[in-house]
Chains A and B, each alone.
Chain A
């Protein structure tokens, strides 16, 4: 059984093509159903975000799966194979696993360390689970990728620090005020930039917004556009500032409106309550010297941009730690995958023993006139006897790491016990018991 990944992302495909191959428009479920009918892949998970579209599959034969999934992508999205092919990447087995781990960790994202991707990976897996298109291998693979994502988030700073100006502003506001829900935001000026920042503040949990503008009509329109805010006339600017906590200055004024002296007077009425001023106007609305006032935190757009740059650099320096977590988890997954190599032999061996036991039991029970209770005892004892005999061989086989050694063992066992053709008849239910270890637990009693 092989793992096969095919997909494209922001790194390989232009946005037009990504839009064409987006699975979200018609729903991932529909795609999973269509894939289920094609059946070249045994298991499949569709991961589709605005920056990537990927199919994770397991298959018996790579070439068949590759041809089939290529065909599926072009047929399903109605694009020619030639148009898509140059932008597709493929990975197999552990390379596919590494790719998914890096994706879940945010290492492959457009903005390195962005937090949404882990949720999207989880959604992709649960959609596949619901559609019953994900099986033992992909379940294990995806759960391992969740673990990678979680570890990277808690153990490294890959996702730390805001990497956009508006998030940098919100993050600063939170660092100063903690909870923003009781804080008053004052937007000075009703232009586009102020509107965007105010809307962002609102979406980040700062609902009390006042817009102060020279034109009340303009202020009212902006208030409506951001979905609810109070407005104040320009003459009330000082009073609004005295009552506010976070000020977004975004007027088109040619010279600073908020001078140090004016702010000093306002601060006196605030009794030391901190004031966070974000000056996003060009040219500046707030005199730079105002930042010297005690309890005034003044950030202009350049300051915010430079904190964003610092955060980006800090994230970049965390990449190595995140990669080493990916490598660690990949090693664990590889060990699990290798241990599955012995599964067919284990199953065959157990079936062989079970067949002998069954045959002997049938003969015994047919001939003798044992009570029902005694029959049950015999049944129990023979089963326990068999499982105890098989316990150590099973465990040892599962511990084998090397493919060649697995092959040698399996050949030896096949020959010693005459396992032969019953190999192919393995039942899936039995298989999964061997894989997940319930077999051992039952035996150890």
Chain B
């Protein structure tokens, strides 16, 4: 099943790229259909894994990536339907395919550590994953903003000019994704902190839930970056391209935290 979902994501990626390059309406519809099919297959996959192990698989780094990809696909589909704009699909699907490669090669479905059997844990992980999916969208929107901005600024109205929506629309979408992401990031962090304080476990990983832990530290850095972007940047005149860059930087930190740090560096979050 995981290969089916992956193959559908790859096919959708191909279709979105084709649609972006050639702008054939039928290909665009096919791309959306493929992505919907992929999201369904992925939902089914996660559902099967849940039944197999008795809980939603997102505690370990690999299964968290899978869940993140799933949420990103859903968030993107929502954005596409709300804006009727497919231009971002090629960019988002690139990220989806790249990340989904990891759980496809080795699913890494874990038994859940005893200490994680708390409803707060579920809220913590799902809000953070959702926040990251929003930031991924914001990052991709930011990248396309910069590409379009450069074409207009350089007075060379070419490829992206013909394909992307207006700078204003991209900026608004970016801002919205950032604010939604920020809300969920805040919820996720607060719930995580409350839960870590409540738990009287002697698990060494719980003992390591300190600000010095790289994963927790970077999450707080992320929160600072996104708080600035969501609420302060525009007030000091950092509109447009600078906020777009900021979205990319923020998501780079998210990715760093999400993949290499989860696998190799953290002592607290390696379940």
Residues of A within 8 A of B (CB): 154-155, 157, 160-161, 172, 174-179, 268, 270-274, 291, 294-295, 297, 299, 303, 306-307, 310-311
Contact = CB atoms under 8 A, between A and B. Distances in A.
A175 B166 contact: yes
Interface of B: 23-25, 148, 152-153, 155, 157-158, 161-162, 165-169, 234-242
**Chain B interface SS verdict (over half):** helix
29 contacts: A154-B24, A154-B25, A155-B25, A157-B162, A160-B162, A172-B152, A172-B157, A175-B148, A175-B161, A175-B166, A176-B152, A177-B166, A177-B167, A179-B168, A271-B234, A271-B235, A271-B236, A271-B237, A272-B234, A273-B239, A274-B167, A274-B240, A291-B153, A294-B240, A294-B241, A295-B239, A295-B240, A297-B152, A306-B155
Contacts of A157: 23, 162
A272 B238 contact: yes
Contacts of A177: 166-168
B237 A161 contact: no
Nearest to A273: B239
Given A161-B157, A175-B152, A295-B239, 12 more contacts: A161-B162, A175-B148, A176-B152, A176-B166, A176-B167, A177-B168, A178-B166, A179-B168, A268-B237, A294-B240, A303-B155, A307-B155
Contacts of B239: 271-274, 295
Contacts of A161: 157, 162
A321 to B, nearest CB: 10
Contacts of A294: 240-242
Contacts of B234: 271-272
Contacts of B241: 294-295
Contacts of A155: 24-25
Given A157-B162, A177-B166, A272 B242 contact: yes
Contacts of A172: 152, 157
Contact of A178 (B23, B148, B162, B165): B165
Nearest to B236: A271
Nearest to A304: B155
Contact of A175 (B167, B238, B242): B167
Contacts of B153: 291, 297
Contacts of B237: 268, 270-272
